[in-house]
């Protein structure tokens, strides 16, 4: 008889794990609390589905910071090329965008997820939706679904319940209270926006307007890209890329200053020359628009930074480095991803919980973080597959589960 394995959570990590387990000869049940699987993956598809990144392997792995040594073997076993090949095998060819980011040609997640679910069904994977994992019993996992509470008797379980952001898509982080003594690092927002001490006018008039092609400076790091003004502060790709450092600086100092270069392609002297060429009789907004094509929201940002400096040289210097003080991350639920989760030290190299033989974990549940750019999904796929391999090896070795039950 095939060994029964429960995979809790039908996101990319859980489904990647289920695929490996089914191909390895297990009877796999995916337990998903939402009415359908892959809701966050589908949301990622709304912005093109950045599956992974094409940069060299060493640079790629370094994006995981402190977690890089732990994740390296898993990402090497299922790297960016492997992920592309896998997507192409499901009928979704990929391309490398100008920034090195890898996307499916369709720029969507829905065809990929549909083809994936057909493949999983053909491998015998069953999916129980609207069913929530609530803990362990001596013989398996406790679930609650439309038919009421039940225990699934399984040889092993893989936890892949995601982080704790965008809870309306399923990842509510409630699992963190149900793991008994397993070390869980508190969640913190990653790839998130921040609050700024805007005037009422700034938030009310310019929320939703982009600062296009700017350069953000913080603590010696520079990131080029777009930032979005929100009612309460700043968000967007360039902000997310610096968010771990900004978040940690706020936790340490109570505030973090970023400097925004509104015209990163122009030297400060060129900015001053262009300003000097426009007649001084013009209003300041007109001068900034005519000389530098600064949008109204960029001009407003300059004004937020205090009285306008006198003279073109000083004004040019302000345009090249507008100070913005950030005071707090936006809420965890609005973050693209989270830091924190099951402490890596609580897992062995197979992704099995040291305290609970037979229980494995994968995906955003684990305590790693990475910038946007495809690194999040890559690590979810790689750890999901690694957990699947871990279960297969453990079953081959005749492992017997010891589920951590509530006292
Ligand atoms: C707006 C947005 C855009 C994004 N874009 C990208 C991108 O382009 N590229 C990229 O790399 N990453 C992107 N991400 C991040 C990426 O989607 C996530 O990192 C990834 O989906 C996490 O995968 P996971 O399988 O670990 O968790 P999830 O995808 O969150 O899946 C976890 C699943 O577990 C289920 N679950 C939770 N608790 C229980 C329970 N008790 N019982 C049963 N089921 C449970 C949830 O309902 C959920 O379906 C984006 C995220 C957001 C919010």
CB burial readout 18-34, b (16+ within 10 A) else e: bbbbbebebbbbbbbbb
Whether the CB of 17 sits within 6 Å of ligand 1: no
Please calculate the CA angle 76-77-81 and round it to the nearest 5 degrees.
70
Tokens for 297? 């929201």
Q: How far apart are CA 364 and CA 383, in angstroms?
A: 9
Residue 49 DSSP symbol: -
How confident is the prediction along the chain (407 residues), in pLDDT tens digits per residue? 999 999 999 999 999 999 999 999 999 999 999 999 999 999 999 999 999 999 999 999 999 999 999 999 999 999 999 999 999 999 999 999 988 999 999 999 999 999 999 999 999 999 999 999 999 999 999 999 999 999 999 999 999 999 999 999 999 999 999 998 999 999 999 999 999 989 999 999 999 999 999 999 999 999 999 999 999 999 999 999 999 999 999 999 999 999 999 999 999 999 999 999 988 788 889 999 999 999 999 999 999 999 998 899 999 999 999 999 999 999 999 999 999 999 999 999 999 999 999 999 999 999 999 999 999 999 999 999 999 999 999 999 999 888 887 65
Ligand 1 pocket test target in 377, 382, 385 with most atoms within 8 Å of CB: 377
Cα of 376 from ligand 1 centre, angstroms: 9
Q: Look at residue 406 in the predicted model and tell me its pLDDT.
A: 67
Q: Look at residue 407 in the predicted model and tell me its pLDDT.
A: 57
CA dihedral 174, 63, 343, 354 (to 10 degrees): 120
Whether the CB of 175 sits within 6 Å of ligand 1: yes
Residue 31 DSSP symbol: E
Ligand 1 atom nearest the C-alpha of 9 is: 34
Please calculate the CA angle 248-249-255 and round it to the nearest 5 degrees.
130
Whether the CB of 374 sits within 6 Å of ligand 1: yes
Alpha helices in 46-199 (DSSP H): 57-62, 68-77, 80-89, 110-122
Ligand 1 pocket test target in 6, 7, 8, 11 with most atoms within 8 Å of CB: 11
Smallest Cα–Cα separation from 210: which of 227, 193, 192? 227
Cα of 82 from ligand 1 centre, angstroms: 20
Cα of 380 from ligand 1 centre, angstroms: 9
Smallest Cα–Cα separation from 256: which of 246, 241, 269? 246
What is 313-330 written as a DSSP string? HHHHHHHH-EEEEEEEEP
Asked if 334 and 312 touch (Cβ cutoff 8 Å), the reply is no
Asked if 230 and 193 touch (Cβ cutoff 8 Å), the reply is yes
Whether the CB of 113 sits within 6 Å of ligand 1: no
Ligand 1 atom nearest the C-alpha of 175 is: 41
Q: Roughly what angle, to the nearest 10 degrees, separates helices 296-304 and 284-292?
A: 120
**3-class DSSP assignment, residue 365:** helix
Residue 239 DSSP symbol: H
Ligand 1 pocket test target in 17, 35, 44, 47 with most atoms within 8 Å of CB: 44
- Helices and strands in the chain: count of H runs, count of E runs: 14, 19
Whether the CB of 388 sits within 6 Å of ligand 1: no
Alpha helices in 165-229 (DSSP H): 200-206
Residue nearest to atom 29 of ligand 1 (CA): 11
Tokens for 275? 């300003």
């Amino acid at each position: 008889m095939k060994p029964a394995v429960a995979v809790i959570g039908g996101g990319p990590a859980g489904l990647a794990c289920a695929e490996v387990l089914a191909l390895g000869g297990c009877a796999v049940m995916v337990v998903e609390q939402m009415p359908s699987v892959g809701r966050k993956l589908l949301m990622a598809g709304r912005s093109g589905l950045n599956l992974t990144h094409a940069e060299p392997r060493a640079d790629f792995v370094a994006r995981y910071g402190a977690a890089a040594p732990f994740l390296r073997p898993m990402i090497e076993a299922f790297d960016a090329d492997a992920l592309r090949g896998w997507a192409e095998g499901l009928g979704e060819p990929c391309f490398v965008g100008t920034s090195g980011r890898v996307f499916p040609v369709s720029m969507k997640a829905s065809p990929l997820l549909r083809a994936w679910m057909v493949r999983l069904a053909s491998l015998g994977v069953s999916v129980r939706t609207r069913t929530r994992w609530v803990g362990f019993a001596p013989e398996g996992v406790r679930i609650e679904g439309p038919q009421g509470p039940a225990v699934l008797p399984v040889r092993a379980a893989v936890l892949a319940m995601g982080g704790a952001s965008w809870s309306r898509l399923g990842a509510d982080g409630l699992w963190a209270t149900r793991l008994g003594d397993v070390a869980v690092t508190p969640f913190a927002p990653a790839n998130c926006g921040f609050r700024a001490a805007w005037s009422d006018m700034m938030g009310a008039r310019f929320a939703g307007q982009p600062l296009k092609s700017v350069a953000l400076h913080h603590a010696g790091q520079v990131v080029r890209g777009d930032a979005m003004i929100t009612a309460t502060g700043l968000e967007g790709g360039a902000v997310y890329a610096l968010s771990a450092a900004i978040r940690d600086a706020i936790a340490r100092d109570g505030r973090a200053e970023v400097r925004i270069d509104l015209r990163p392609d122009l030297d400060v002297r060129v900015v001053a020359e262009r300003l000097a060429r426009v007649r001084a009789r013009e209003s300041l907004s007109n001068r900034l628009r005519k000389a530098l094509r600064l949008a109204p929201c960029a001009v407003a940002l300059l004004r937020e930074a205090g009285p306008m400096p006198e003279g073109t040289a000083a004004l040019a210097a302000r345009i090249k480095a507008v100070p913005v003080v950030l005071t707090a991350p936006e809420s965890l639920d609005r973050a693209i991803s989270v830091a924190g989760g099951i402490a890596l030290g609580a897992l062995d190299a197979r992704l099995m919980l040291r305290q609970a033989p037979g229980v494995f974990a994968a995906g955003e549940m684990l305590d790693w973080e990475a910038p946007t750019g495809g690194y999040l999904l890559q690590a979810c796929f790689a750890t999901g597959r690694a957990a699947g391999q871990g279960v297969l090896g453990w079953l081959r070795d005749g492992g017997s589960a010891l589920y951590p039950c509530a006292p």
